[in-house]
Structure 1
Amino acid sequence: MITLESVRKTYADEVSIGPVDLQIPAGGVTALVGPNGAGKSTLLTMIGRLLGMDSGAISVAGFDVSSTKSKDLAKIVSILRQENHFITRLTIRQLVGFGRFPHSKGRLTTADEEVISKAIDFLELGELENRFIDELSGGQRQRAYVAMVLAQDTDYVLLDEPLNNLDMKRSVQMMQHLRRAAAEMGRTIVIVLHDINFAGHYADHICAVKDGAIVEFGTPEEIMTGEVLSRVFDTPVDVVDGPRGPLAVYF
């Protein structure tokens, strides 16, 4: 479980997060949704300790994010931010190998190589593993970064808008991969999404963030209603019955 207690973060007089009290259950996929600037990515990066809190406490699987040693926390929670820029020219396999650093400290063992291969195969990148990152399409590159995070082999995986720059087909494939990772690898995946319909279809829980506060948390059935979504996004939203569940329609 991920627990946030009275978490606050202030950037300026007009930009603040919290106080946030939230419990994200272990297992499955939890989607953070909400308008631009609501605080979704800020919350995610604080959970991953890439951004400090002004006050409050965050724990992941019972480990205090602020006080747990980095080498220990890196074996519990992994995070992929929106922007990934590697200056050095790397192959997919080399990139994914970075995910093993908390375990290998740069000295890859046979066991590490097996985990790397498993992550590469899981994201269907086996035929491309020796290609350089800068030779890949946007979708292939994004899958490689997700494979790197999975290779870190943490129970908790935080992903900040992994569907950015992906077309519809690749977005669907990415969400299918993440659902499989939750189900087959037993990972707890927390993901920032802009498309509420992806959240409604693939997530087990949806957390709606608005103006730096948690305004709704529940199952897709509880969140995917016209009343809730219209209030969260400040625009009229209708929810209709689609062939595979509720669909949000903006008008």
Structure 2
Amino acid sequence: MIEIRDVRKSYGDATVVQGVNLTLPRGGVTAIIGPNGAGKSTLLTMIGRLLPMTSGQILVDGMDVTHAASNALARRLSILRQDNHIAARLTVRDLVAFGRYPHSHGRLTREDGVHVARALEFLGLTHLANRFLDELSGGQRQRAHVAMVVCQDTDYILLDEPLNNLDMKHAVGMMQLMRRMADDLGKTIVVVLHDINFASCYADHIVAMRDGRVIRKGAPAAIMTADAMRAIYDIDMHIEEIGGDRIGVFYRQPARD
């Protein structure tokens, strides 16, 4: 499990994550939701040690992320940020192979090749393996980056808004992929999402943040209520139950005086 103990992040006088205490369970899919500026991506990035915390402690299965050896942490936890700046003249296969660096340090073995092929197949990218990244659509590039993370073969996978650049069909496919990674591969998925209905339908646990704090946490049924949505997003939302899932309807807001 991931233990977050009184974690804070400040930039000068501005505090963007304010004393978060949270335990993220091992296994399944945990979605972190909330409005813009809530601190979701900042918290996720600190868990992945891509951003130092101002104070506090984060433990992954008892391993302190601040003091852990980089290679040891990279074998346990992988993260995909929103902003991926990797040279466009890489092929998809080359990008995915980067996921094996913590294991082979750039000297790919036959076992690494098996992991690369498996990740390409899992993301439906085998037929694009020799294409350059700048020859792909935005959605295809996003899937290639996720394949790189899958190829790293860690117990914990952190994904920051992985539905960016995806149309509805591929967004559904990405959420289904997360469920498969959790259910079939035994991975622990922690994902930042803006679409609350995807969180409701695919996540086992939801953490809601606002103004740098965790204000709600629990199963989707406990979070997907009109009162909770008003507290999180400050809008009135109608909640419907469809096929056993709770769906928020918020596209038509009543006029206010």
Which residue in the other structure is 2:124 paired with? 124
- The CA deviation at 1:244 is 4.6
- Deviation string 1:147-190 (CA, Å, 9 cap, x unpaired) is 00010010000000000111111100111111101111110000
- Structure 1 runs (4+) greater than 4 angstroms displaced: none
- The CA deviation at 1:126 is 0.9
Which residue in the other structure is 1:241 paired with? 241
Letter in 2 for 1:137: S
- CA distance in 1 between partners of 2:112 and 2:221 (Å): 40
Letter in 2 for 1:169: K
Which residue in the other structure is 1:155 paired with? 155
- CA distance in 2 between partners of 1:28 and 1:134 (Å): 33
> What are the within-5 Å matches in structure 2 for residues 31-180 of structure 1?
31-180=31-180
Letter in 2 for 1:53: M
RMSD between aligned alpha carbons?
0.9
TM-score w.r.t. the length of structure 2 is 0.96
Structure 2 residue runs of 5 or longer lacking an equivalent are none
In percent, how many aligned pairs have the same letter? 57
Letter in 2 for 1:148: M
81-90 or 35-44: which moved more?
Answer: 81-90
- CA distance in 2 between partners of 1:205 and 1:221 (Å): 9
Which residue in the other structure is 2:229 paired with? 229
Contact 2:8 2:15 in 1 (8 A): no
Which residue in the other structure is 2:216 paired with? 216
- The CA deviation at 1:61 is 1.4
- The CA deviation at 1:88 is 4.9
- The CA deviation at 1:213 is 0.3
> What are the within-5 Å matches in structure 2 for residues 182-201 of structure 1?
182-201=182-201
- CA distance in 2 between partners of 1:140 and 1:219 (Å): 31
- CA distance in 2 between partners of 1:188 and 1:124 (Å): 21
- CA distance in 2 between partners of 1:221 and 1:12 (Å): 38
Secondary structure of 1:36's match? coil
Letter in 2 for 1:183: D
Secondary structure of 2:163's match? coil
- CA distance in 1 between partners of 2:207 and 2:36 (Å): 14
Contact 2:88 2:134 in 1 (8 A): no
- CA distance in 2 between partners of 1:87 and 1:25 (Å): 35
Secondary structure of 2:75's match? coil
- CA distance in 2 between partners of 1:133 and 1:244 (Å): 39
- The CA deviation at 1:18 is 1.5
User: How many residue pairs were aligned?
Assistant: 251
TM-score w.r.t. the length of structure 1 is 0.98
- The CA deviation at 1:26 is 0.3
